[in-house]
Copies of this chain bind each other. A is one copy, B any other.
Amino acid sequence: MDKGLLIVLSGPSGVGKGTVCSVLRNKMPELIYSVSATTRLPRQGEVEGVNYFFKSKEQFQDMIARDALLEHAEYVGNYYGTPRDFVERTLASGKDVILEIEVQGALKVKQKFPDGIFVFLLPPSLDELKQRITGRGTESLDTINNRMSVAVEEMNLLRHYDYAVLNDEIDAACDRIRSIIIAEHCRRERFLPYVTGMKAAIEKA
């Protein structure tokens, strides 16, 4: 059986990665979503192995030491990371895995998984990005301008990715990501053994 594909969906903060990912989840139920490990405590209703793999700080540090994480980061005092084992087992079973992650984390994953398909979500315009960043709360103009600069710096990392998807409209963006996944399954290399098998069969007949 063919191995599955690892699809890494990233993009600047405020671009709408989470929303696109959750809509895609409904449209492509066959995709397996990578489950993160975290040291933060479970919230009401969160299920181990579904929402997160919940770990103690010691367990998490042990995973780092064993190179058992594709990437990890600290955020507001807690660790978050992508367990390598879950990704590798799922791919080996022939299923595609999607990983939604911020830009820096994605580049770390690329070092360990150069065969992944790296997809970068882009805002339709600077105005739209500003609106989304502003829409989050009541931040000062300085904070907003700072976030815009960070987002544009992050966009500059597009060159390390394979594909760019414009998030102008959620359904359109999801259709593009779905298309990228289908196209990657059609790469010539995946079919060379199939053709070799046919050639052998007809020569034997």
Query: In the assembly, how many copies of this chain are there?
Result: 2
Residues of B within 8 A of A122 (CB): 191, 194-195
- What sequence of 0s and 1s flags, for each residue 37-70 of chain A, a beta carbon within 8 Å of any chain B beta carbon? 0000000000000000000000000000000000
Interface size on A, residues (CB 8 A): 37
Residues of B within 8 A of A178 (CB): 179
A162 at the interface (CB under 8 A from B): yes
Interface SS of chain A: helix
- What sequence of 0s and 1s flags, for each residue 182-195 of chain A, a beta carbon within 8 Å of any chain B beta carbon? 11101110111011
Please name 28 pairs of A and B residues whose Cβ atoms are closer than 8 Å in the assembled complex, sorted by A: A120-B188, A122-B191, A122-B195, A126-B198, A126-B202, A149-B202, A152-B199, A152-B202, A155-B195, A155-B198, A156-B199, A158-B191, A158-B195, A159-B188, A161-B188, A162-B187, A162-B188, A164-B186, A164-B187, A164-B190, A164-B191, A166-B191, A175-B182, A176-B186, A178-B179, A179-B182, A180-B182, A183-B184
